[in-house]
Structure 1
Amino acid sequence: MSERKTLLILGAGGYGCTIAEAVQEGSLYTPIGFLDDSYPERTASFGLPVFGTTKILGSYVQHVDAAVVAIGDNQVRQDLILKLQSAGHRLATIVHPEAKVSPSAVLESGVTVMSGAVIGTQASLGQGVIINAGVTVDHHAEIHDFAHLGVGSCVAGGSVVDKGAWLRAGCIVGYRAAAQAWQILPPGTVLGE
């Protein structure tokens, strides 16, 4: 078994804690701590230190193997991922050990997939996508960069969630349907058939 790599998490709130726990349950990374803009009011989260705000992310390039953005706001996550890349950070892709991802699915950098999620045959997840707990992304579905699928959402086979769209809890994108770029769907929304 190879040695675990060190991981810096941007965002020490609820999703940051979820990512830290998923990483601790996996075998690839060891979370070393957070950067969060609530610092210095918040100096620890989930038993890990908060080192400072996201403004200092460049100073950690030589000290960690990878970083991940654990912030639900799609625009903020996109901005921070671009800053991480500009600073030379490697983006981690995090898959909870209790998620099921097809070996033919394509996951770009910075994707996070939580417990109970199912990613189907030849589905594609773009950069910085969040797949929350219990989400289903069926075969050949396309989830474009920086989209966010809330808890229990379902995307049918061949459907598309465009860049930056946010499907809040329990949304359904049916067959031949699409969520538009940067669209925010209220919980329980059903698109298409």
Structure 2
Amino acid sequence: MNIVVIGDSGHAKVIKDIVFASGNDVIGILDDKYIDIFIENKIVKGPITYLNQLLKDDQVKVIIAIGNNNIRQKIVSRINIPNNRYLTCIHPTAIVSPSAIIGNGTVIMPGVIINADACVGMHSIINSNAIVEHDCLIENYVHISPASVVTGGVKIADGVHLGASSSVIPLVKIGSWTTVGAGAVVVRDLPANCTAVGAPAKPIKFHE
């Protein structure tokens, strides 16, 4: 399958490796830091506006390789393509239960474990060696950072970012667009639109 990657930064390097490891080919890397169209190592590079040209091939799919949840959401809204044109990108070393559901545009990185009846929404990132346990609901535009552990029955709303090596105990709910600091331990529900740190994690500020 031929893939177009949106974004050309450090995160995009990891995404490209996953695409190749999954047996797919990267034919384009688009980023608005580029003004002109050019070829580098047989890959087309240029601004995001060039995407429409590449999508004239019905077999081409897209993955957004940007770690920031808010920017990723804005790009999805901006390019406005059907959900079925997005690649669900799963590294071969990840362990994903047959009963788990993974949404379009989501990236599952090396060493991830996603257990039975978990559901991960669209355009989310489950980063290296993270664990999503049984019956979790992870909504859209979420980023679960490396080595984080989300235990059973947790609900994580849209746009949440869990910092590296954070943990969430069973049945906890985290409100939309909340950020949980690295190494935090979430032992009770967190509201939307806050930053929470510590063990146990507590909100230290709120934002719109």
State whether TM-score is above 0.5: yes
Secondary structure of the residue that 1:7 maps to in structure 2? strand
Name the residue aligned to 1:10: 6
Matched, 1:24 2:20: yes
Q: Counterpart in 2 of 1:124?
A: 119
Moved more, 128-137 or 18-27: 18-27
Please point out which of 123, 127, 139 is paired with 2:134: 139
Match of 1:62 in 2: 56
- The answer (yes or no) to whether the contact 1:176–1:192 under 8 Å persists in 2 is no
Return the letter of the residue paired with 1:7.
I
Amino-acid identity (%): 28
Quickly say closer, same or farther: Cα 1:53–1:162, change in 2 above 3 A. same
Q: CA deviation digits over 1:172-193, x for unaligned, max 9?
A: 1111212210011111111117
Separation (CA, whole Å) in 2 of partners of 1:68 and 1:34: 10
- Unmatched 5+ residue regions in structure 2? 189-208
The answer to whether the 8 Å contact 2:143/2:159 transfers is: yes
Question: What is the rounded CA distance, in whole Å, between the counterparts of 2:42 and 2:143 in structure 1?
Answer: 25
Distance 1:190 1:129, change over 3 A: same
Name the SS for the 1:39 alignment partner. Answer: coil
Partner of 1:52: 46
1:93–1:10 distance in 2 versus 1, CA, 3 Å = same
Larger RCO, structures 1/2 (Cα 8 Å, 6+ apart): 1
Q: Alpha carbons of 1:99 and 1:107: their partners in 2 closer, same or farther (altered >3 Å)?
A: same
Q: CA deviation at 1:84?
A: 3.7
Q: Which moved more, 1:81-90 or 1:6-15?
A: 81-90
Tell me, in whole angstroms, the C-alpha distance in 1 between the residues paired with 2:83 and 2:178.
Answer: 30
2:187 maps to 1:179: no
Aligned length: 187
Aligned counterparts of 2:39 and 2:65: Cα–Cα separation in 1: 15
Contact 1:12-1:50 within 8 A present in 2 as well: no
User: Retained in 1: the 8 A contact 2:83–2:104?
Assistant: no
2:152 corresponds to 1:148:
no
Q: CA RMSD in A?
A: 2.2
1:123 and 1:44, CA in 2 relative to 1: closer, same or farther beyond 3 A?
A: farther
- Does structure 1 conserve the Cα–Cα contact (< 8 Å) formed by 2:115 and 2:134? yes
Secondary structure class of the residue paired with 2:116 = coil
Map 1:55-94 to 2 at 5 A. 55-63=49-57, 65-86=60-81, 90-94=85-89
Q: Is the 8 A contact 1:9 1:69 kept in 2?
A: yes
Query: Which structure would you say has the larger Rg?
Result: 2
Deviation at 1:125, TM superposition (A): 0.4
1: distance between equivalents of 2:35 and 2:187? 46
The answer as to whether partners of 2:27 and 2:44 remain within 8 angstroms in 1 is: no
Deviations 1:49-102 (CA, angstroms, capped at 9, x unpaired): 452122332232114510000101111111222334437870000000010000
- Structure 1: 5+ residue stretches without partners: none
Match of 2:195 in 1: none
